[in-house]
Amino acid sequence: MVHTGVVSDLSGAIDDDIVARRIVPAIIKIRELLGCGIPAALDEFQQRYDRLRVERSDEFTVSPEEYGHGIYT
């Protein structure tokens, strides 16, 4: 069983990674947190990214079009 405080801490770290464009570390953390495979982690990443683009839009340093350049899945 995962301790709720750990989940909250890890969720914050994942969100910070997403905002900072640390895509691979964010996906690794999602997989560890959820105990899921890559497809599910990518889905979760996309949902979190979409939410953060609305909630923390001023913290992103690149446009949505530029965000994933150089990352191939």
As a whole number of angstroms, the distance between CA 63 and CA 1 comes to 38
- Which percentage of the chain shows pLDDT scores above 70? 84
- The predicted-structure confidence for 20-54, as pLDDT tens digits, reads as follows 999 999 999 999 999 999 999 999 999 999 999 99
| Res. 3: pLDDT tops 70 | no
Residues 6+ apart with CB under 8 A from 29: 10, 13, 14, 17
Q: What pTM value is reported for the model?
A: 0.80
CA neighbours closer than 13 Å in the CB half-sphere of residue 31: 10
